[in-house]
Structure 1
Amino acid sequence: MIGLFAIDAEQRKLAVELSAKLGRDTMVGDGPVHQVVHRMWTKLGSAVLLMPIGAAVRTIAPMLVQDESSPAVVCVTEGFVVVLAGGSAGGANALADRIAEVLGLTMVASTGSDNTGDTVLEQLVDQLDATVDGDIAECAAALLDGEPIRLLNPMGFALPPMPDNVGHSNGARWTIVIDDRLATQISDGSELLRIVPRTLVVGVGASKGVSGDEVSSVLSMLEWDFGLDLRAVRAFASIDLKAREAGVLQALEDWNFWHGQGSVGEDPPTLLTYPAETLSTVDVPNPSAVVQRETGTPSVAEAAALYAAAEMAQGRPVELVVPKAKGENVTVAAVRIKP
């Protein structure tokens, strides 16, 4: 069975039209894409996702396995039909070619092995648990055509094997930047594809009764004052006293609307909370006697971010990149999990 899954009403209309042309052994999923795909996954021979590639990759990544049980997966997006999994052995290349012909689009075939079927860019996005900013389908097409591709990896992430045409070529039409910061600027006029790995844990401390707008305003300082890409946030952390603080929860919901993937049914980054006795054991650069008296720990934002990041890092180093950015009733801190 071929399942077709659309991100919005316009794409769903296209999915219904495409289903009629692909034959009787098709179904069009109804409901939030993330949940429907996960529910139908084991029943599918092929899946066609009508959505941006980054969202499609994050939807299917938790379910891909190295055997023949996974369906072939094709993504229809921005004028391209891109093979995400299944390759030639799984039938995804043939299905993508058929869809491209029906819709008059350009097909981007898989160059991965028949076991995974992923293009190298999708492998990279999946490996880094990243958000994509830019036209990944067009960049993938250029890569497959053998064009020189410049790759900038200033943070030193481990990468999957890259084709020979990917390197530090000056004058390349495409530049790929892997970074959790906004600072990288390309001055030579090349097309830019930014891959934003989820490396950041943001600690939040707030007064009782704080408004969501106050929390959101201080969170925005991470971008405007410190140059961090807020799509790189992997988790938020705080003291357990704030687990149900309405203003904090509202701000995180707003954060997901603007920076997350809530539109495709994904949950926002988790709010991790810890008791005061746990946070009080964390060595921080900016302890506060006032916070100690009010909460039982000399630090909330810095300590929570450092503690949560260390737990998630699984032995990798972490660094405090934003120590204690303060508003009137809110304090935030950001910790990076290093490669």
Structure 2
Amino acid sequence: MIGLISATAAGAAACDRLAAAWPDRTRRYPGPVADAVRAAFAECEQLVCFLATGATVRLLAPLLRDKREDPGVVCVDEARRHAVALLGGHAGGANALADQVAEQFPGCRPVVTTATDATGVPGLDTLGWPVEGAVAAVSRAMLDGSPVRLVSDAVHPLPALPPNVAADADGAVSLLVSDLAVEPDAGQAVLRPPTVTVGVGASRGASAEEVLTLIESALAAAGLSPRSLAALATVEAKAGEPGLVAAAERLGVPLRAHPAAALAEIPVPNPSRAPQDAVGTPSVAEAAALREAGPGADLLVPKRKSEPAPGAAAMATCAVARRRPRGRLAVVGLGPGARDLLTPRARDELRRASVLVGLDQYVAQVRDLLRPGTRVLESGLGAEEERARTAVAQARAGHAVALIGSGDAGVYAMASPALAEASADIDVVGVPGVTAALAAAALLGAPLGHDHVSISLSDLHTPWEVIARRVAAAAAADLVVTFYNPRSRGRDWQLPKALGLLAEHRAPDTPVGVVRNASRPGERVHLTTLGALDPADVDMMTVVTVGNTATRAVAGRMVTPRGYRWQEARA
């Protein structure tokens, strides 16, 4: 919960705005400011104070306990020009909250002074994995450019680390990435990747203590750190067993339930008749551990039973599996070009990647957003298949990869060749972007107000006969048509042919929008008609939108009505 605190009428209005925007996340704290701060500090995970920073610091000072426990605090000035991450930038989430608050107030800018965020170096405590040991010393060395030796038991999809963090670095500090139960050396920080899954079975009434003791002994037997535990897994029939539910809650991991039929298909070393009769699968613990861990997992600890009190029957079983590290491929749409049309999710994925793959001109658009140390693999026009194969290969090698394309990466861009190449051995994330058709439509007015279609006129990969058949079908169906790749120096006849096909079904005065470099430097918007359009005004940087029989030019804008009855009556 986010506590909202203010002292003035302007601050109260700002609190109202956040409360309206985040009704389920916020709580107002009225009354004397000092009392409000004390109450919110004790009850909330985060605070937003519409107060002077000096006053906020004085009010917070007596309340501070530990940076791992204190809430994150953002302070916003009276004019709402700055959202300052004042306390708990990482642990309390104040840095991210400052960004979110700033987005709610036009002209407001987040102010983040945490060194790692300011320099683009990923904070070890922001990676989403448990970290222990000499975190401060290693973080300082990363920031200072001092050598940090990287030791990892596998390639994991981490964000880009700065160049001074390397396997061959000879420094006084080191970063170990491992799920093994090793104590950090002096000057060493240890990141715990979530690679361990534990399958559990339990008789009715098994206690959480018995389950937890069993899991602890199994992890110790495998030499694994409990902090690398990703999930407990069981059969669906045991999903609500109180001892299992409580054990997962105390371990801070999810309890995932799998169908008995799916578990029965998993080959295991120790099948048993008892679980087959009870829940429909010959294995619960081993099969659940392996299925939760995914393809290529290793069973490190076979099924073992709990050790009950003398004279009592064992109530729980468990098995331990290790996930094979999986690379991550994010296919990211950059939008039409303008920085403010790049989505926040796309920005996050660019900063999450350790490898960026893309067309050289698109890489140039976002290079400043990459973290130091990001490996960039760029190529020129016409190398789409090569980029797709490169991105998938890098993900298969275990890296966090961002494959970028303009507009939406799934529309005439890199998603389809990449996903045709990718198999189930990597994780894939799609990040949508604003397409060229949408960017052009917003400049033209509302040409896509009714059913519409996009067609590429490039016959480099699609035979012209197929393209012509699609254009003719769209013309006969009276669809608004947006043409991508309409004309180039080597392809100057396809657009006139396509316009001729549309003209068989549409009048010469049908509105046509021509937009070049939508949202980019040199943007040009021209509204003409089907009969008056000169194809020579069109090139590969242009999107051409041809209206349907209902599209009209209204006040210099291109409008395709939805067909509302009140509009029909007025017409």
TM-score (norm 2): 0.39
What SS is found at the alignment partner of 1:45?
strand
State the match for 1:110 in structure 2. Answer: 118
User: Over residues 267-297 of structure 1, what are the superposed CA-to-partner deviations in whole Å (9 max), with x where a residue is unaligned?
Assistant: x321111232232122222111222122221
Percent identical? 31
For 1:71 and 1:153, the matched residues in 2 are separated by 37
Unaligned runs of at least 5 residues, structure 1:
38-42, 73-88, 97-106, 113-118, 257-267, 311-315
Aligned letter for 1:120?
Answer: P
C-alpha displacement of 1:46: 4.0
State the match for 2:298 in structure 1. Answer: 319
Aligned letter for 1:334?
Answer: V
Q: Is 1:3–1:47's contact at 8 Å kept on the other side of the alignment?
A: no
User: Over residues 36-69 of structure 1, what are the superposed CA-to-partner deviations in whole Å (9 max), with x where a residue is unaligned?
Assistant: 97xxxxx993444438x5x446x98xx79xxx96
User: Over residues 89-134 of structure 1, what are the superposed CA-to-partner deviations in whole Å (9 max), with x where a residue is unaligned?
Assistant: 84313xx5xxxxxxxxxx666321xxxxxx2344x952xx311112
State the match for 2:278 in structure 1. Answer: 294
Q: Residues 322-333 of structure 1 correspond to what in structure 2 (within 5 A)?
A: 322-327=301-306, 328-333=314-319
Q: Is 2:219–2:320's contact at 8 Å kept on the other side of the alignment?
A: no
State the match for 1:207 in structure 2. Answer: 203
Aligned letter for 2:232?
Answer: F
What SS is found at the alignment partner of 2:192?
strand
What SS is found at the alignment partner of 1:120?
coil
C-alpha displacement of 1:153: 0.8
State the match for 1:241 in structure 2. Answer: 237
For 1:318 and 1:151, the matched residues in 2 are separated by 25
For 1:148 and 1:297, the matched residues in 2 are separated by 52
For 2:156 and 2:50, the matched residues in 1 are separated by 40
Q: Residues 199-278 of structure 1 correspond to what in structure 2 (within 5 A)?
A: 199-253=195-249, 255-256=250-251, 268-278=252-262
For 2:117 and 2:244, the matched residues in 1 are separated by 44
For 1:21 and 1:173, the matched residues in 2 are separated by 42
What SS is found at the alignment partner of 1:238?
strand
Q: Is 1:198–1:234's contact at 8 Å kept on the other side of the alignment?
A: yes
Aligned letter for 1:217?
Answer: T
For 1:192 and 1:3, the matched residues in 2 are separated by 39
What SS is found at the alignment partner of 2:292?
helix
What SS is found at the alignment partner of 2:118?
coil
For 1:214 and 1:208, the matched residues in 2 are separated by 12
C-alpha displacement of 1:20: 6.9
What SS is found at the alignment partner of 2:149?
strand
The reply on whether 1:92 has 2:100 as its aligned counterpart is no
For 2:227 and 2:192, the matched residues in 1 are separated by 7
In 2 relative to 1, CA 56–305 (structure 1 residues): closer, same or farther, beyond 3 Å?
farther
Unaligned runs of at least 5 residues, structure 2:
6-37, 61-67, 73-79, 103-108, 307-313, 326-571
Aligned letter for 1:319?
Answer: D
Q: Is 1:222–1:230's contact at 8 Å kept on the other side of the alignment?
A: no
State the match for 1:338 in structure 2. Answer: 324
Q: Is 1:148–1:169's contact at 8 Å kept on the other side of the alignment?
A: no
State the match for 1:45 in structure 2. Answer: 83
For 2:264 and 2:270, the matched residues in 1 are separated by 12
Q: Is 2:152–2:176's contact at 8 Å kept on the other side of the alignment?
A: yes
In 2 relative to 1, CA 25–170 (structure 1 residues): closer, same or farther, beyond 3 Å?
closer
For 1:139 and 1:326, the matched residues in 2 are separated by 41
Q: Is 1:108–1:137's contact at 8 Å kept on the other side of the alignment?
A: no
C-alpha displacement of 1:169: 5.2
For 1:168 and 1:279, the matched residues in 2 are separated by 40
Q: Is 2:135–2:188's contact at 8 Å kept on the other side of the alignment?
A: no
State the match for 1:152 in structure 2. Answer: 151
State the match for 1:265 in structure 2. Answer: none
How many positions carry a matched residue from both structures?
260
Q: Is 2:211–2:243's contact at 8 Å kept on the other side of the alignment?
A: yes
For 1:136 and 1:237, the matched residues in 2 are separated by 31
Note the aligned Cα RMSD (angstroms): 4.2
C-alpha displacement of 1:208: 1.4
State the match for 2:447 in structure 1. Answer: none
C-alpha displacement of 1:300: 0.4
For 1:177 and 1:23, the matched residues in 2 are separated by 40
In 2 relative to 1, CA 110–12 (structure 1 residues): closer, same or farther, beyond 3 Å?
farther
Aligned letter for 2:146?
Answer: E
For 2:205 and 2:298, the matched residues in 1 are separated by 31
Q: Is 1:125–1:195's contact at 8 Å kept on the other side of the alignment?
A: no
C-alpha displacement of 1:249: 2.2
C-alpha displacement of 1:138: 3.2
Q: Decide which structure has the larger Cα Rg and report it.
A: 2
User: Over residues 174-212 of structure 1, what are the superposed CA-to-partner deviations in whole Å (9 max), with x where a residue is unaligned?
Assistant: 1110011114764xxx31201001122211111111122
For 2:287 and 2:165, the matched residues in 1 are separated by 40
For 2:42 and 2:205, the matched residues in 1 are separated by 42
Q: Is 1:125–1:132's contact at 8 Å kept on the other side of the alignment?
A: no
What SS is found at the alignment partner of 1:322?
strand
What SS is found at the alignment partner of 1:197?
coil
In 2 relative to 1, CA 230–295 (structure 1 residues): closer, same or farther, beyond 3 Å?
same
For 1:184 and 1:156, the matched residues in 2 are separated by 21
Q: Is 2:85–2:111's contact at 8 Å kept on the other side of the alignment?
A: no
TM-score (norm 1): 0.63
Aligned letter for 2:191?
Answer: I
User: Over residues 203-231 of structure 1, what are the superposed CA-to-partner deviations in whole Å (9 max), with x where a residue is unaligned?
Assistant: 11111111222111101113321111111
In 2 relative to 1, CA 162–245 (structure 1 residues): closer, same or farther, beyond 3 Å?
closer
